[in-house]
């Protein structure tokens, strides 16, 4: 008999053994006891939570010789043949390697009509069902909706979102949950006892923590650790097998981070690398350690106690006192960034050194970045929205005078239009300046398409950019009307073409004669003025100046329209 991996050897053989999925098993057992058996089940949840095991248990419960029973005997002919995978009526299909419509047709659809050969029900277990092709899913729909009375489908997947909604609606869905640390440690203890070996509680804890809530991971990791150990399984062995870094080193590193000696960071990194620690593992372990510190520092005593155990909690408390929750959060972000870099590059030593130095800076937030206000300590004076607004107003330059507007009917529509940020990749890069630079090109493009419209559009000037809406100001009501009624779509198309974006819209407005030009310049980089903060119109400038300015603009316009130059000025 060949060796079988632990997670196969100790697959749950009864509903009682199945840990941590009480919600699912109770429902299934009650349904079987009451004889209300559904025709299609969909099991989903994280890896290694017992989906396939439950599917097989269900098949046995339905087909056991002692009647459909919530407690299959496990000894009768059929139970045994199902366990060995030789039962003719329990068909397990690997949907990930047999993805096509032909596979589904051949294995399922053409076969459901035949009554079971020996058992009561024909059970189709379609594992990894998310990988079926779209066609194959569709081919299943009719069969799945109304199968013959002797057929039960069980679909299992880790990726629920990939299963089409039409399939989901035809099945009873059960979500499998990840196991708690407690559940996992109990499962590991049980297996260790059954295997006849012994282990330190700390070792079991370490494995359970690395398993991330998956029973199968826990047993695979245990298997690895057992391969490295001889006799009693110790925490050190587990660390060696799984590759985590010891708590002592981590604590030392954390103490160094709390200090302010940069050279120390380099020395520690050097020492760790010399001893052959994998940089990625070290970063991951450090991330986990800091997260535990955060638990303590944030005052989640109860959770910390549950996860770490009393002894470890006491040991970690002094280290946790070195940091504030804010700095720990920031260090976590730095580590996540470093982990990405490590994946992309080979020069791990330097990444590690730099990360440690950066973490050191992040650990002293007061120096560089002002600490985030802690909610509980500062009673809030304003409701958040108004506070945010006053803050924004304080940070922004004083509100700009804005010309009086005549609102157009499009206003409402433009405001409710979806924000462009979600639609366009470049949305963030577009500022008023960019827009102003691109505007001549928009004009040119538009003119090419409609020469007459171009003349009207030339009168427009950009007032402001509000999210995805460009506000254009017109002096002449006629031009405004023309562009608004006939050319709006075209302008938007050309605008987006010139900016290489999508979803930017325009809004045409009238501006009054005496408030020209100026706003377009001052509006640069200013945030859209909020309605509440609108200032009054600027008082008109002195008359002669205005006149000469108007002359200037007039001459400029003449030059523009006729493509000429000033030969002689009589003014």
Partner 1 sequence: MTRFCTLTGQESAIGALQQAFRSSALPGSLLFTGAAGSGKAALALAAAQTAACHRPLQQQNLFDACGQCPSCLLAQENKHPEIVSIFPAGEQLQIWQLWDRDNHPPGVLSRSLNFAPVLGKKRVFIIHEAERLTEGAANSLLKVLEEPPDYALFILLAVHSARILSTLVSRCCHIRLQPVAAAAIQNLLQSRFNLPSEQAALLAACSEGRIGQAVRMAATPEIGSEMEKILDFACSLPQAQRASSLRIAEQLRKLGAQTIALAGQEPAEATGDADTAPRERAARRQLAALFEMLMTFYRDLLALSLCREQAVLIHRDRAAMLQFLASCGSPERWSECLNSLMLARRRLDANAAVNLLTESLAMSLLRPEAS
State the residues that interact with partner 1 by CB under 8 A: 1-5, 8, 47-48, 52, 94, 96-97, 99, 127-128, 130-131, 158, 214, 216-217, 220-221, 223-224, 226-228, 230, 240-243, 262-263, 266-267, 270, 273-278, 280-281, 341, 343-351, 353-354, 357
How far apart CA 562 and CA 555 sit, in angstroms, is 11
Residue 424 Cβ vs partner 1, minimum distance, rounded to whole Å: 22
Residue 19 Cβ vs partner 1, minimum distance, rounded to whole Å: 16
Tokens of 34: 């009451």
CB atoms within 10 A of CB 127: 19
Residue 46 or 181 having the CB closest to partner 1: 46
HEC sequence for 109-145: HCCCCCCCCCCCCEEEEEECHHHCCHHHHHHHHHHHH
Residue 9 or 524 having the CB closest to partner 1: 9
Residue 226 or 460 having the CB closest to partner 1: 226
How far apart CA 386 and CA 156 sit, in angstroms, is 49
How far from the centroid of its chain's Cα atoms is residue 168's Cα? 23
Residue 140 or 242 having the CB closest to partner 1: 242
Taking CA atoms, 363 is separated from 245, 297, 354, 368, in Å, by 21, 13, 14, 10
Do the bridges between strand 122-127 and strand 151-157 make them parallel or antiparallel, or are there none, so unpaired? parallel
Residue 224 Cβ vs partner 1, minimum distance, rounded to whole Å: 6
Helix axes 432-449, 488-499, angle to 10 degrees: 120
Residue 8 or 190 having the CB closest to partner 1: 8
Q: Which residues pair with 371 in a beta bridge?
A: none
CB atoms within 10 A of CB 318: 11
- For residues 490 and 456, the answer to whether their CB atoms sit within 8 Å is no
Residue 218 or 443 having the CB closest to partner 1: 218
Residue 16 Cβ vs partner 1, minimum distance, rounded to whole Å: 23
- For residues 225 and 242, the answer to whether their CB atoms sit within 8 Å is yes
Tokens of 193: 């006892």
Q: Which residues pair with 474 in a beta bridge?
A: 510
Residue 100 Cβ vs partner 1, minimum distance, rounded to whole Å: 9
Residue 244 Cβ vs partner 1, minimum distance, rounded to whole Å: 10
Residue 140 or 221 having the CB closest to partner 1: 221
Residue 188 Cβ vs partner 1, minimum distance, rounded to whole Å: 15
Residue 567 Cβ vs partner 1, minimum distance, rounded to whole Å: 45
- For residues 167 and 144, the answer to whether their CB atoms sit within 8 Å is yes
* 347, containing H or E segment: none
Residue 261 or 557 having the CB closest to partner 1: 261
Residue 369 Cβ vs partner 1, minimum distance, rounded to whole Å: 18
Residue 131 or 475 having the CB closest to partner 1: 131
Residue 131 or 447 having the CB closest to partner 1: 131
Give the helix ranges, DSSP H, for 20-176.
Answer: 22-34, 51-63, 77-84, 101-104, 134-145, 165-168
Residue 139 Cβ vs partner 1, minimum distance, rounded to whole Å: 18
**Cα–Cα–Cα angle for 402, 483, 535, rounded to 5 degrees:** 5
């Amino acid at each position: 008999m060949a060796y079988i991996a632990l997670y196969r050897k100790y697959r749950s053989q009864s509903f009682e053994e199945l840990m941590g999925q009480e919600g699912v098993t109770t429902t299934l057992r009650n349904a079987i006891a009451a004889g209300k058996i559904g025709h299609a089940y969909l099991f989903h949840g994280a890896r290694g939570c017992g989906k396939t095991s439950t599917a097989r248990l269900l098949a046995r419960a339905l087909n056991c010789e002692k009647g459909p029973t919530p407690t299959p005997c496990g000894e009768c002919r059929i139970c045994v043949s199902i366990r060995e995978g030789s039962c003719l009526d329990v068909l397990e299909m690997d949907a990930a390697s047999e993805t096509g419509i032909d596979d589904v047709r051949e294995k399922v659809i053409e076969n459901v009509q035949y009554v079971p050969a020996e058992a009561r029900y024909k059970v189709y277990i379609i594992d990894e069902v998310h990988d079926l092709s779209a066609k194959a899913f569709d081919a299943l729909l009719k069969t799945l909706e109304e199968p013959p009375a002797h057929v039960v489908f069980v679909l299992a997947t880790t990726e629920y979102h990939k299963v089409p909604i039409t399939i989901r609606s035809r099945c009873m869905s059960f979500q499998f949950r990840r196991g708690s640390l407690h559940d996992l440690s109990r499962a590991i203890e049980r297996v260790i006892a059954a295997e006849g070996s012994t282990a330190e509680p700390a070792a079991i804890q370490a494995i359970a923590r690395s398993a991330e809530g998956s029973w199968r991971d826990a047993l695979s990791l245990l298997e690895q650790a057992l391969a490295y150990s001889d006799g009693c399984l110790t925490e050190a062995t587990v660390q060696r097998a799984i590759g985590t870094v010891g708590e002592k080193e981590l604590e030392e590193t954390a103490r160094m981070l709390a200090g302010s000696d940069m050279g120390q960071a380099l020395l520690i990194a050097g020492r760790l690398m010399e001893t052959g620690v994998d940089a990625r593992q070290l970063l991951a372990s450090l991330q986990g350690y800091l997260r535990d510190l955060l638990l303590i520092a944030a005052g989640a005593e109860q959770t910390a106690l549950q996860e770490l155990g009393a002894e470890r909690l006491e040991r970690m408390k002094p280290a946790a006192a070195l940091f504030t929750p804010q700095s720990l959060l920031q260090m976590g972000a730095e580590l996540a960034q470093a982990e990405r870099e490590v994946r992309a590059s080979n020069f791990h030593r330097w990444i590690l050194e730099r990360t440690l130095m950066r973490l050191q800076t992040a650990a002293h937030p007061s120096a560089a970045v002002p600490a985030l206000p802690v909610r509980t300590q500062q009673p809030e004076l304003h409701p958040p929205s108004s506070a945010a607004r006053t803050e924004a107003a304080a940070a922004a330059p004083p509100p700009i005078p804005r010309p009086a507007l005549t609102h157009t009917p499009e206003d409402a529509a433009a405001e409710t239009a979806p924000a462009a940020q979600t639609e366009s990749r470049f949305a963030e890069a577009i500022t008023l300046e960019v827009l102003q630079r691109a505007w001549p090109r928009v004009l040119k493009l538009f003119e090419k398409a409609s020469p007459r419209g171009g003349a009207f559009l030339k009168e427009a000037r950009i007032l402001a950019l509000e999210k995805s809406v460009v506000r254009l100001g017109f002096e002449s009501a006629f031009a405004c009307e023309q562009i608004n009624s006939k050319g709006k779509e075209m302008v938007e198309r050309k605008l987006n073409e010139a900016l290489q974006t999508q979803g930017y819209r325009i809004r045409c407005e009238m501006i009054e004669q005496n408030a020209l030009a100026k706003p377009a310049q001052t509006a640069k980089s200013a945030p859209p003025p909020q309605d509440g903060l609108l200032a009054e119109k600027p008082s008109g400038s002195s008359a002669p100046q205005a006149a000469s300015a108007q002359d200037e603009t007039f001459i400029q316009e003449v030059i523009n329209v006729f493509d000429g130059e000033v030969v002689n000025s009589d003014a």
